[in-house]
């Protein structure tokens, strides 16, 4: 949601840090204060997953009305159920909007800049005693999921630079060495598609 306020992205980052127990100070300009020194940084909200009775039909509406591009999806028989993945034509993201027939997959996704940042957030959240619900190698990203204090599903992910059909999700162990994680991405992406 765009509010017209240029500091809204910083406020989102502040809310994530608050959910993680950081108690960030927010200045009048919306910048997160010094509490976050040494923490990995969230780049922003980069996609949302919404519930839909008919993901394919709803995707066609967003394509026809807003000009979004349908970039993936699955039938009801898929492990994630019926889905539709969309993005703006100029976006560098693999997707920006996802519709799920299964409401359990509704989520908000926050992107981090590096694999190291993803692993640091994973450790931080585990160390705070927040249960990690799942971790996936999506090919296009490495991600993990947890719930905020009000039970909203949150995804933190690193964009690998690989592009493969979505939905896709192999279980992932973020405690593995970085080299092993990158090899898993390369195996999904195939030859000639480097991970970032």
Nearest to 17, CA basis, from 38, 48, 46, 1: 38
Per-residue DSSP letter, 98: E
pTM: 0.69
CATH number at residue 99: 3.10.180.10
183 within some domain: yes
> Do both 79 and 17 map to the same domain?
no
Q: pLDDT by residue for the chain (196 residues), tens digit each?
A: 333 333 333 333 343 334 444 444 443 444 444 456 678 999 889 899 999 999 999 999 999 988 999 999 999 999 999 999 999 988 788 899 999 999 999 999 999 999 999 999 999 999 999 999 999 999 999 999 999 987 889 999 999 999 888 999 999 999 999 999 999 999 887 654 444 4
> Do both 180 and 149 map to the same domain?
yes
Q: How far apart are CA 11 and CA 84, in angstroms?
A: 29
195 within some domain: no
* Helix (H) or strand (E) run with residue 50 in it: strand 42-51
Nearest to 35, CA basis, from 43, 26, 44: 26
> Do both 49 and 23 map to the same domain?
no
> Do both 1 and 90 map to the same domain?
no
Q: How far apart are CA 183 and CA 44, in angstroms?
A: 27
Q: How far apart are CA 28 and CA 143, in angstroms?
A: 32
Give the pLDDT of residue 189.
Answer: 77
196 within some domain: no
Q: How far apart are CA 106 and CA 83, in angstroms?
A: 11
- Domain of 156 in residue numbering reads as 42-189
> Do both 105 and 20 map to the same domain?
no
> Do both 77 and 7 map to the same domain?
no
Full DSSP string of 73-118 = EE-TTSTT-SEEEEE-TT--SS-SEEEESSGGG-EEEEEESSHHHH
């Amino acid at each position: 949601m765009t509010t017209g306020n240029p500091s809204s992205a910083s406020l989102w980052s502040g809310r994530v840090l608050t959910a993680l127990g950081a108690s960030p100070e927010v200045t009048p300009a919306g910048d997160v204060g010094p509490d976050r020194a040494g923490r990995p940084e969230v780049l922003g909200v980069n996609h949302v997953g919404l519930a839909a009775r008919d993901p394919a039909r709803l995707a066609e509406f967003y394509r026809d009305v807003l000009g979004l591009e349908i970039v993936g999806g699955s039938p009801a028989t898929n492990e994630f159920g019926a889905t539709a993945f969309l993005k703006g034509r100029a976006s560098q993201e693999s997707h920006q909007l996802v519709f799920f027939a299964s409401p359990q997959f509704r989520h908000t996704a926050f992107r981090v800049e590096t694999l190291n940042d993803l692993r640091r957030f994973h450790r931080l959240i585990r160390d705070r005693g927040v249960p990690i619900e799942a971790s996936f190698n999506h090919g296009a990203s490495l991600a993990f999921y947890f719930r905020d204090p009000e039970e909203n599903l949150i995804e933190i992910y690193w964009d690998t630079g690989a592009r493969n059909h979505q939905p896709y999700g192999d279980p992932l162990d973020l405690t593995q060495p970085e080299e092993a994680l990158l090899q898993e991405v390369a195996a999904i992406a195939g030859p000639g598609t480097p991970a970032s």
